[in-house]
Amino acid sequence: MQNPALFHVLLDYLEENDTPAIEVQRFVDRWHRLRPHEPLPCPVCYLAGEEQPLAALPAQGKFERVKCPTCRTQFDIPIDE
């Protein structure tokens, strides 16, 4: 799996926003079909019917950050030390 820490942050985001389980599973299925060269998809855009890549931002404190340039949703991934 590509970037397991980010994957868990994205799943937490979907669950916190009361995303229906079938939609969460649809995103999980897509994530597991990603090839190594493919960009990581924004879950918000993917579930809205578009596949938009997440863009890395500079790390801040103890977090790596990614943001969708389309919907502007940002996700903060804790850095394990």
Residue 1 has pLDDT above 60, yes or no: no
CA triplet 41, 14, 16: central angle to 5 degrees? 150
How many domains does one find in the chain?
1
CB atoms within 10 A of CB 18: 6
H or E element, residue 56:
strand 55-60
CA-to-CA distance for 62 and 1, rounded, in angstroms?
22
Q: What pLDDT digit, counting tens, does each position of 5-21 carry?
A: 999 999 999 999 999 99
CA-to-CA distance for 31 and 57, rounded, in angstroms?
21
Q: What pLDDT digit, counting tens, does each position of 22-60 carry?
A: 999 999 999 999 998 999 999 999 999 999 999 999 999
Q: What is the extent of the structural domain holding 26? A: 4-78
